[in-house]
Chains A and B, each alone.
Chain A
């Protein structure tokens, strides 16, 4: 059972480049979320979705776009990468019935 799958695991970008971090879940969960993890700051919510076609901003949404065309996929787009976006990104999914989240293994992004 795959759970939540994130690709790629590692990525190096140059300032100004764009890219998409992929997230897919096979648990038929309604909710999906993106977090970034920086040293000493825990995880902070970037964007989240409560169903296909429905997305909303979290605490730190600037510089990121999301869309949710299917229940399974929730890609995160960096429009114009900046060094401040160097971080580890985690995708999570959860059912609408409860508060337990299931996390992917993370994408470590470095912007130079």
Chain B
């Protein structure tokens, strides 16, 4: 399997704290994306970083990419209860989303 791995598998924090989740992948990539999945729902795109970029910001999200280590991290700052969800990284080798390879996911629980 070419699936990536994410850690931790589960993360529980309090509202206001930062959440960091990590993703490792196996092959050279064009892009790496992060998706969020609320319980029982489909995946929603959060942020994308290209292979020639090292860091990207979007609102409370910060993603880093280290292609030499084949790894990425997603930081969510000042977490809210509404951030409770599963988070998945996804990579592509074609520059398109026709064939994404997903990580195993991190389940984030943000408590009040």
The answer, among A33, A41, A105, for a CB contact under 8 Å with B104, is A41
| SS class, residues of chain B in contact with chain A | loop
Count of inter-chain pairs, beta carbons less than 8 A: 80
A98–B88 contact, CB under 8 A?
A: no
Alpha-carbon separation in the docked complex, A92 to B43 (Å): 9
In the complex, which residues 88-112 of chain B have their Cβ closer than 8 Å to any Cβ of chain A? Answer: 88, 90, 92, 95-105
- Measured CA separation A45–B98 after assembly (Å): 9
B44 within 8 A of A: yes
Asked if B48 lies at the interface with its beta carbon under 8 angstroms from chain A, I say yes
A44 at the interface (CB under 8 A from B): yes
Closest 9 A/B residue pairs (Cβ)? A94-B97, A103-B42, A101-B97, A42-B102, A43-B102, A31-B98, A103-B43, A42-B104, A99-B31
